[in-house]
Amino acid sequence: MKPFLVERWFAKYEFSVSYNIAESCIQPLSLPEICSIAGLDPSILLGSEPIGYVDAAGSPELRRAIAGLYPGTTAGQVLVTSGAIEANYLLHSSLIEPGDMVICQFPAYQQLYEVARSRGADVRLWRLYRENQFHPDVDDLKNLARGRVKLIVVNNPHNPTGAVLSAEEMQGVLDIARRSGAFLHVDEVYNGIFYDKPVPSARLMGADVAVTSSMSKVYGLPGARIGWVAGPEPIVQKCSELRDYTSICPAMLSERLSLTVLRNRDAFLRRSADLASRNYAIVRDWMDKCAAIVSWAPPKGGVVCFPWYHADTGSEAVSRRLAEEQDVLVLPGTCFEHEGHFRLGFGYRTDRLVEGLSRLERLLYTL
């Protein structure tokens, strides 16, 4: 596989800067915060049983809680994984063989098309254009999906742009997948934070759709490393068999934290939505103020956007200077194979966001 550009950039700078405005998660929760929101004593949350292995597919309680997010889905159609990244990897590795045709939105989190490429697939890119505010054009997908397609991969809400397919548009995507014989995978790690009309899970549109998600992006538990795939049971079973060669089973304590959050889902999502909305307004006002040096397509969901700056300077050089001179982290557009852009994350602490944007503005005016 090619180097994972986003993760390599994070590895270089994530823990050496003070102002991380690249991250794609909502501000992570502490154990006291989880207990406060859930109304639990920490000793009850941590439990007293030995820290041992759990059910390889995930504990029945957690799988039932996840299945409950998708009415009509059973616990047997859910596999708990080490983050959504493992869920995506297992799903694509289980489905794709050399020569298969795969269609993926682009730009995208690199894994969503690179695993298919590494397995010898013919990957076609469903391109999103900033001239169209990065909104996916379903007619473009229809033109790409000519011939026998094995897999269509969609990320909704979308990383890095924050674009959102409506329920009607997602139904159009599913119709295209069915006509071309393709399996539809929707990465929904950002589902739960919207700035316009909420979009229900694509899993509710058909038993033949697989979705992946996690506790990281909208629930505030990225360090728990709990994700999942929910889909047709035979495919979930194939993923489970492949996972025997990777992480074997989820982490016991992480499962317990995740189950607590999901049992109090509405309260935790309110916390996330309030923080995201407040920070979104700050980014919107900053973009308006800095319109002479930077432009954007306002995101419709999630906590990332993909602005472009008005200077003829490479995005890696800009992002490197920002980290090393201003102590601020953004992701260069080259991590998504789009020069002249940067990914901005606004889900973390508001005070850090405000200071990071101020320092970013200072640097952009020097270009």
Tens of pLDDT, residues 77-110: 999 999 999 999 999 999 999 999 999 999 999 9
- 251 and 186 assigned to the same domain: yes
- 229 and 351 assigned to the same domain: no
Full domain range(s) for residue 22: 5-30+267-364
Q: Considering 223, 244, 263, which residue would you say is the last residue of a domain? A: 263
Structure token digits, residue 173 = 């995507």
- On whether the pTM is more than 0.85, the answer is yes
**Which is it for strands 101-106 and 151-155: parallel, antiparallel or unpaired?**
parallel
Q: What is the DSSP letter of 224?
A: G
- 100 and 237 assigned to the same domain: yes
Distances (CA, A) of 29 to 35, 277, 289: 10, 17, 31
* pLDDT above 90 coverage of the chain, percent: 96
29: left (phi over 0), alpha (psi -120 to 50) or beta: beta
Q: Establish if 26 belongs to a structural domain.
A: yes
Q: For 239-283, give the DSSP string.
A: HHHHHTTTT-S--HHHHHHHHHHHHTHHHHHHHHHHHHHHHHHHH
Q: Establish if 37 belongs to a structural domain.
A: no
Across the strands, what pairs with 301? 194
Domain count, the chain: 2
Question: Distance from CA of residue 47 to its chain's centroid?
Answer: 30
Q: Considering 236, 263, 290, which residue would you say is the last residue of a domain? A: 263
CATH of the domain at 326: 3.90.1150.10
Q: Establish if 35 belongs to a structural domain.
A: no
Q: What is the mean pLDDT of residues 336-363?
A: 98
- 161 and 283 assigned to the same domain: no
20-79 pLDDT, tens digit per residue, is 999 999 999 999 999 999 999 888 777 778 889 999 999 999 999 999 999 999 999 999
Dihedral sign (CA 129, 131, 136, 139): negative
Q: Considering 263, 279, 311, which residue would you say is the last residue of a domain? A: 263
Q: Establish if 36 belongs to a structural domain.
A: no
CATH of the domain at 139: 3.40.640.10
